Amino acid sequence: MHPDVAAYNDAQTPAEAAICRLLAEQIDRHLPDAENRIWHAHPVWFLDGNPVVGYSRLKHCVRLLFWSGQSFDEDGLAKEGSFKAAEARYTAAEQVDKKLLRRWLAKARDIQWDYKNIVKRRGRLQRLK
């Protein structure tokens, strides 16, 4: 895990830090080849420079975001924004279903839209995988 991500996790309240540490551990375990860093002030994991998963502290929860999550066809993820992202929100570490998270992370590897080049394509997404 990138040291800045560990510092981000440690800066949260105890309940939020527990969620963040659990998510980071699971993401690192199931996407070992992903690059991990702070991006736009939040922990994000990238495959070949393309953002695939990250999390952020919101006012009353921790949001787990999959950039291509709307294409996963999975229960438990809600649409987020006007592109292909989907999210899950947690208020306690016990709410994180590791089996479900593992399935979502496998899909994050296999189903990707090209966010890396979205500016170059003037806001149009292209399917990579």
Between the CA of residue 129 and those of 32, 68, 108, what are the distances in Å?
18, 10, 10
118: in domain: no
Q: Is 58 helix (H, G, I), strand (E, B) or coil?
A: coil
pLDDT of residue 6: 96
Looking at residue 94, which CATH number applies to its domain?
3.90.1150.200
Is 125 inside a domain boundary? Answer: no
Domain annotation covers residue 119: no
Q: What is the pLDDT along the chain (129 residues), one digit of tens a residue?
A: 889 999 999 999 999 999 999 999 999 999 999 999 999 999 999 999 999 999 999 999 999 999 999 999 888 999 998 788 999 999 999 999 999 999 999 999 998 766 666 656 566 666 666
Stated length of the chain: 129
The parent domain of residue 69 ranges over 3-110
What total number of domains does the chain contain?
1
Q: Does 29 map to a domain?
A: yes
In-domain check, residue 88: yes
Containing 66, the helix (H) or strand (E) segment is strand 62-66
Measured distance CA(30)–CA(105) in Å, rounded = 7
Separation of alpha carbons 118 and 125, rounded Å: 6
Residue 51's H or E segment, with its range, is strand 50-57
Q: Where do runs of H (alpha helix) occur along the chain?
A: 3-10, 14-30, 98-110
| Within a domain: 12 | yes
Does 122 fall in a domain? no
